[in-house]
Chains A and B, each alone.
Chain A
Amino acid sequence: MLKISDLVKKFVGEKTASVAAVNGISFEVEEGRFFTLLGPSGCGKTTTLRCIAGLERHDEGTIFIGAQVVSSPRDRIFVAPHQRDIGMVFQSYAIWPHMTVFENVAFPLRVGKKHFDARQVKDKVMRALSVVQLDALADRPAPKLSGGQQQRLALARALVGEPKVLLLDEPLSNLDAKLREQMRVELRELQRQLGLTTIYVTHDQSEALAMSNVIAVMNDGKIMQMGHPRDIYLTPANQFVADFIGSTNFIHGTARAGAVETEHGVLQCTVPAGIRAGDAVLVSARPESIIVHLEKPANTQNLFEGQVQLAIFLGEMYDCQIQVGGQLMRARLNPAHRVRRGDNVFLQLPAEYITVLPANG
């Protein structure tokens, strides 16, 4: 449905040399899928989205929407944004302040290629507004809406023309935490019902994990890893992804056959192809997959001994910082147990939940 290949976008600074905000990214989104670009601020997510919309002209690469090439600088093809058949929600929402709620939503129908008479416009607008539950506010001046309502208005405006692709640039980031979680569910449900191909941009990993069919993790204008949220979380491809998604403990070590030798002891684990015995590696172990024993267990495989430095009671668990050799490791403990600072504990790192990464940063 949407295909990007080798996209490059450089910005020419006033004084500085040109910087590639997007540096050769490629991906493909199937019809009806929810695809997320996830990455830290400044990594080029917005720029990518704006290239898809045609609001920026990229320097290299090709963008397909459906079967049509909408831009390809090499072939001198550039379809203007208003001819691309897309819907977009901007981070600032970009609600036109001189129009009412109704007029904002009607705008795409009135200026678009297809022609609608007044009754059709009204029907479509009211349907879009009722989808986002704003139908009661249709005649209100747009600036008189709350943040959450503006967000839903922006969404209605993007949906009303039944675009081929829906582009969302951090649409939830301006909302307060509670509303954000609620809108997350509503937005995803709506997308599923309408079967809209969606590109979603966010820097919030929990949002990305909760909503997406596919996540592309970006850094510095490049895609670091692309895949199902579960795969990205459980088997990060590199240190950046492991660090950016969730929280994790990194342990330096040297690869051996079916194991990694670390300063705290040998860890039995699956060493991925491409890493040879003797290579320097980094082991990533997520806090929630580490089992904390208060007594030394019978099974001593992958077992480290440590001392509790800090145990914060969070209700559903203890968040513990445990000193293992020269390293502080984070782990979680069931609140039924009771630990105190200074207690000796044993950390078990199950082989199937730890990931071995090349240690080049």
Chain B
Amino acid sequence: MQLSIPRPRLSNFRFDPRWIFLGVPVVVVAYFTVIPIGMLLVGAFKTGDPGVAGEFTFNNLLHAYADPTLYPLLLNSTIYAFGSSLLALVVGTALAWILERTDTPLKSLFYSLTLVPFIIPGVLHTIAWIYLLSPRIGFINRSLVSIFNLASPPFDVFTLGGMVWVEAMHLSPIVFVLMTAAFRSMDPALEEAATTAGANTWTTLRRVTLPLMLPALASVTLIMFIRGLESFEVPALIGLSAPTRIPVFTSRIYLALKGFPPDFGLASAYSLILIGLSVVGIYFYNRALKRSEKYATVSGKAYRPRTIELGKGRYVTMGLFLFYFFLIVGLPFFILLWGSVIPYFTPPALDMLDKLTLDNYAAFNILDCQPGQSFCLRARAAFTNSLMLGIGAATLVMVLTAIISWITVRTNWRGRGLLDLMAFLPITVPGLVMAVSLMWVYLTFRIGVYGTLWILLIAYITRFMPYGIRTTTATMVQIHRELEEAAQVAGASWRHTFLKITLPLLKPGLLAGWVYIVTVSMRELSTSVLLASSQSQVIAVMIFDMIEGGNTPRLAAMSVLFITFLIVLVFGAQKLGGRFGVRD
């Protein structure tokens, strides 16, 4: 074993500074990741609530898994997750192929699709689609009924099919991003060889492109399936509002904890199955990824994809894209905007045009709340809390993960693999389950964290640590070791090397990761919904709660403001990133 930091002349006593550099991160990461998951496991096999002495029991598991309600739950969850991931896969892959391999016009506009999932949070996406497809007030239903003189609304979002559709639309931009990357890493010469051998576009696609993409397709399906299983917004907002409830695992956990009294044992037992499934899924995903990387990066060069000339057909593909854009951005945003400028909610109609008003936005003048305006004050508190939490979590995650990935990439200390693994652990924990785990920890150890902003900060740090690790590791790997060594040889001490070479080179990557974590923290719902209290309200949960309240115009106004804020944040970050030379 070698130590990479310079060591002075040593006497017989050998204290190894490695133990501090490695030990502190290990303890910190274990605190954030291992302890909550451990507590959850213990809780699933224990009688009594958190903080109450209990005994070992299998009753929670029996109650959860031997119950006849399990089968519809299992069936719903599977259909919902599989259906939405498959639909998203078809849509996302087709779009990625069109964009990467054909001469469709307006390409650069369509690439901005990659930003959509960052801009429209799941909760708003779901709300918007309820306003579009609800049988009673849905804009699409109403329009189709009046245009075609139908007897009844053609769509009903409050069904399993409706849930699949809404979730698939939400997942599809992510599939698009992943598949675009997969197409780019494939050598177009392989396709060109098929073409020169006499295959037409369609045969080439079917016989060469798709088989080669199979590993990527399989792993993307898997990851989408897991995201579907773990999703909370659609199951809660649509599944639980349906005339006959359509429960899946996540909404079942939510109900168990929101019921009275909350059933921690049952929630934990259901959580185990979700963790188990995602552990299996992520294991296979990583394996597939490793294999396809081995496949793709042999030459390591970036390929310039050949474009297939579609002729007139390229306007068809462009039309498809515009329609898709309209579906996932245009319509949802339009319906929210509409909802925010009318005095009471009703689907868009011409006769409402003279009633348009900006009054709904008046309640959000949060810079100038009057003492009596309780809503304004609450909105201000939620916004400030979300912003502080986002910035706090992003800063702490980036600092911590920069240190961890420096250790894993730059040293060969024993134990660095464990550190990496522990920091990655939360990726297997769905947001809602993370909340359950943290409730176990901080209801058992009452150290004044539960019910405050601290538990949310801890939750965000834990949830986004895997993302931080991935960004910082990728950045660190890009910085060739010799750049640091050249500084050492030039006479720079360890400190100088770090401050003048390593840190400036890391800066663009760290900054990009930081902005990303600020954004996702501010939109986070599935963990916050169980952990935020009236003393620690955040925007996403406030919106979620307002759906019950029924003040739709105000809800719509808040959504529009939130989306606007996220647009400014994301595009600001893009600009900043461009200036600092962020790639990817």
Contacts and interface: CB of A to CB of B under 8 A. Distances in A.
A80 interface: yes
Given A77-B9, A98-B505, A107 B492 contact: yes
Given A76-B10, A92-B480, A92-B482, A98 B488 contact: no
Interface in B344-403: none
Nearest to B504: A98
B298 interface: no
A46 to B, nearest CB: 11
Interface string A84-103: 11111011101011100000
B563 interface: no
A70 interface: no
B259 interface: no
Interface in A98-123: 98, 107-108, 111-113
Interface stretch (B90-98, B164-172, B493-501): B493-501
A97 B505 contact: yes
Nearest to B14: A76
A112 B480 CA distance: 22
A81 B485 contact: yes
A111 B491 contact: yes
A81 B9 contact: no
Contacts of B482: 90-92, 94
Contact of A90 (B486, B493, B497): B486
Given A57-B2, A96-B501, A97-B505, A108 B491 contact: yes
Contact of A55 (B488, B492, B496): B488
A91 B1 CA distance: 25
Given A77-B9, A96-B501, A111 B492 contact: yes
Interface in A131-181: 154, 157-158, 161, 167
Contact of A12 (B1, B6, B497): B1
Given A107-B492, A108-B491, A111-B492, A88 B7 contact: no
Contact of A80 (B2, B6, B10, B483): B6
A314 to B, nearest CB: 33
A111 B493 contact: yes
Interface in A269-327: none
Contact of A112 (B7, B486, B491, B497): B491
B2 A111 contact: no
A158 B489 CA distance: 9
A96 B489 contact: no
B177 interface: no
A82 interface: yes
Given A94-B483, A96-B501, A53 B489 contact: yes
Nearest to B1: A12
B490 interface: yes
Interface in B464-516: 480, 482-483, 485-494, 496-497, 500-501, 504-505
A233 interface: no
A82 B483 contact: no
A94 B10 contact: no
Given A76-B9, A97-B505, A55 B490 contact: no
Interface string B417-430: 00000000000000
Contacts of A85: 491
A107 B487 contact: yes
Interface string A59-95: 0000000000000000011101111111110111010
Nearest to A56: B2
Contacts of B500: 107, 111
Interface size range of chain B in the complex? 20 to 34
Nearest to B12: A76
Interface string B188-216: 00000000000000000000000000000
A258 to B, nearest CB: 53
Contact of A78 (B7, B483, B492, B505): B7
Nearest to B492: A111
A157 B490 contact: yes
Contacts of B488: 54-55, 80-82
Contacts, number: 89
Contacts of A84: 489
B505 A86 contact: no
B68 to A, nearest CB: 51
A92 B479 CA distance: 12
A98 B501 CA distance: 8
Q: Is the interface of A mostly helix, strand, loop or mixed?
A: loop
B489 A88 contact: yes
B407 to A, nearest CB: 16
A111 B505 contact: no
Interface residues of A, number: 35
Of B2, B482, B489, which is in contact with the most chain A CB atoms at under 10 Å from its CB? B489
A113 B493 CA distance: 10
B303 to A, nearest CB: 22
Contacts of A108: 490-492
A161 B485 contact: no
Contacts of A80: 6, 488, 493-494
A205 to B, nearest CB: 25
A97 B500 CA distance: 12
A82 B480 contact: no
Contacts of B504: 98
A86 B491 CA distance: 8
B491 A96 contact: no
A80 B7 CA distance: 8
Nearest to B507: A98
Contacts of A90: 482, 485-486
A111 B10 contact: no
Contacts of A157: 486, 490
Interface in A18-62: 53-57
A94 to B, nearest CB: 4
Nearest to B6: A80
Contact of B491 (A55, A82, A154): A82
Nearest to A87: B489
Given A90-B482, A92-B480, A94-B482, A111 B9 contact: no
B486 A161 contact: no
Nearest to B11: A76
Nearest to A59: B2
A88 B489 CA distance: 7
A157 B501 CA distance: 15
B328 to A, nearest CB: 38
A108 B480 CA distance: 19
A85 B488 CA distance: 10
A111 B1 contact: no
A78 B4 CA distance: 12
B469 to A, nearest CB: 21
Interface string B81-103: 00000000000000000000000
A96 B7 CA distance: 26
A77 B504 CA distance: 32
Contacts of B485: 53, 55, 81, 88, 90, 94
B493 A82 contact: yes
A48 to B, nearest CB: 15
B9 to A, nearest CB: 6
Interface in B516-540: none
B487 A111 contact: yes
Contacts of B496: 82, 111
A300 B485 CA distance: 61
Given A54-B488, A158-B489, 11 more contacts: A56-B2, A57-B2, A78-B6, A80-B488, A87-B489, A90-B485, A90-B486, A96-B505, A111-B492, A157-B490, A161-B491
Which 3 pairs of residues, A with B, have the shortest CB-CB distance?
Answer: A112-B491, A80-B6, A108-B490
Interface of B: 1-3, 6-7, 9-10, 480, 482-483, 485-494, 496-497, 500-501, 504-505
26 contacts: A53-B485, A54-B488, A56-B2, A77-B9, A81-B485, A82-B6, A82-B487, A82-B490, A82-B491, A82-B494, A83-B491, A87-B490, A88-B489, A90-B486, A91-B482, A92-B480, A92-B482, A96-B505, A98-B504, A108-B491, A111-B487, A111-B491, A111-B496, A157-B486, A158-B489, A161-B490
